[in-house]
Structure 1
Amino acid sequence: MIRILLILFLALAPIGATVAQESDECHRPPTQELADYKETYVPQEFHWESFGWEIADVIALAIMLAIGSLLSVRHLQRHWFTALAGIALLYFGIVRGGCICPVGATTNFFMGLAAPELIGKLVAVLFLLPLIAAFFFGRVFCSSACPLGAIQHLLSRKNGIQLPTLLNKILRLIPIALLIATAWGALRSGIFLACKLDVYKPIFFTGHAWFGQLADRVGEGSMEPGLLIVGNLLNWLVLLAVLALGIFIPRPFCRFACPYGVLLGFFSRVGLRKRHIDAESCFACVQCTRTCPVQAITADREKRNIKVSDFHCVQCGRCDVTCKADSFQSPSPYPETRFPNIGKN
């Protein structure tokens, strides 16, 4: 019910803003002639974003990655990851307007390789921190700090639709192609190709604009009049379609579009922490394969062979809760910290 209300609100928001803008225009005085307007126009000073916000972003990201890593290592239940996703959506998604954006960060990094003077050091830190965390703890960024992953996590059903194996493998090639295209576009011409494909921008940018209006009202600053809506009707329709798709097919953007996920998957694959299933305790009920939102768990029930892909696993904790045999383990280099009763009914 909450998911349906959220989608309805997003659908009606652009329409309501259009009506409000039309109402304002009816009460505006006649427009000046273009020549008179040019003579009387005074350019507004643009205030660069405070350096303190960039420091706050780095600190917030480090804290969320640390908490997400701890939750993953201890195999805590899913509601803890849900709470963390809500915080990530509120801060990085609304307050910061979609920062940090894993899609934009990828382009920024490759642009920095071609022209380091264009990219600040803190941008490089924001890009590298999730990769470092992935090397030591797996793809915890996807479930603990990414605003795009957060909104998909909060909307997805517990048991989403599992795609056919062949189709799933084919669709997984798209992020790799986008990563290559993003790198080529950034290095050759500075094109933010992947950012143009970020369908969640309207909700993040609009939320950021509303937060700015609220801050101006509280601080008695100069506030933009009217209800601000970022993006056109087509942007919002595409967003609503992807949000609705994400209810039934978990994390569609993470799995089939995000180029940064490819880098996270690579660092997780060659990293220190590996998830595996204890063959002795597992009785091949394959419930974990049905609840994994990214289909990172494959099973051969006859051979009792169940594997977890470290490349695709986003450390969301759903398999830990589902497994009644307590078979999911994380061996060295980290000590076993699993609580034996967690995940059991």
Structure 2
Amino acid sequence: MDFAALTGALLAASLFAHRWRSRRAMVWLSIFSLGYFGFYRLGCVCPIGAIQNVSRAVFDPSFALPWAVLGFFILPLLFALFFGRVFCGGVCPLGAMQDLVMLKSARAPRWLEIALGSLRHVYLGLAVLFAALGARYVICEFDPFVGFFRMNARFPIWIWSIGVVALSMVVGRPYCRFLCPYGVLLGWFSRFAAKRVTITPEDCVVCHLCVDSCPFGAIRRGGAEEAGEAAR
């Protein structure tokens, strides 16, 4: 059931992004994803956390990796190869929560965004290392949203969670852009995407309003294509 829901949501996100080009439809899909994968399924199974299970299975042959976990890990990456990061845009419950609380996104200098974005690569490396050693699953342990989904986080995690959600009100998707380890993998795969989200050439008057207004810094001057490292 969960795998079917993920497949359907990814197909819908691909349709909404490339065929319908509908922001409204993507928002409704995000709300569904937040409700189902987040609050109903309590944030589990999650492609982001599945990084740890897959890493442990690679380095520990005795570890039994559930097929559902492997499927959740691979499927969004496959969609990224064909349609770009549609998982981020409309299916990830963590991204949806950040979108729904955002009031107005402040823009940081480009150099600062790049520096903060490098933290995701460090986090990914640490998560793989700890999981491979069988030490701990740091992605799940420090997930800032699972406490809201399950309402059972420890007090320090609650403080961390509230801080991330509060920051999301004024910074577009801070967790996705600066910490999400799965976003690193999706970024790598989406560089080879067969289809990319583009600004419709016949409608573009090169005013750059979209560049200045995008809360995620996903649009670059001089190019209409979706940025490979953007959250959208």
Superposed counterparts of 1:1-345, under 5 Å: 56-116=1-61, 117-157=63-103, 159-206=104-151, 230-277=152-199, 282-299=204-221, 305-315=222-232
Report the TM-score when normalising by structure 1. 0.63
CA distance in 2, matches of 1:68, 1:183: 28
Kept after mapping to 2: 8 A contact 1:105/1:127? yes
1:107-160 CA-to-partner distances (Å, cap 9, x unmatched) read 111112123542111210111010011111111111222111111121123x51
- Matching residue's letter, 1:283: V
Q: Percent identity?
A: 34
Q: Where in structure 2 are there 5+ consecutive unaligned residues?
A: none
Richer in helix (by share) = 2
CA distance in 1, matches of 2:226, 2:22: 20
How far off its partner does 1:277 sit?
Answer: 4.5
Q: Secondary structure of the equivalent of 1:144?
A: helix
Kept after mapping to 1: 8 A contact 2:173/2:231? no
How far off its partner does 1:252 sit?
Answer: 0.5
Report the TM-score when normalising by structure 2. 0.91
Residues 71/281 of structure 1: CA separation in 2 closer, same or farther (3 Å cut): closer
CA distance in 2, matches of 1:133, 1:285: 32
Matched length = 231
How far off its partner does 1:266 sit?
Answer: 0.7
CA distance in 2, matches of 1:309, 1:181: 28
Rg larger for: 1
Kept after mapping to 2: 8 A contact 1:100/1:147? no
- Matching residue's letter, 1:81: M
- Matching residue's letter, 1:102: P
Kept after mapping to 2: 8 A contact 1:64/1:145? yes
CA distance in 2, matches of 1:110, 1:132: 18
Q: Where in structure 1 are there 5+ consecutive unaligned residues?
A: 1-55, 207-229, 300-304, 316-345
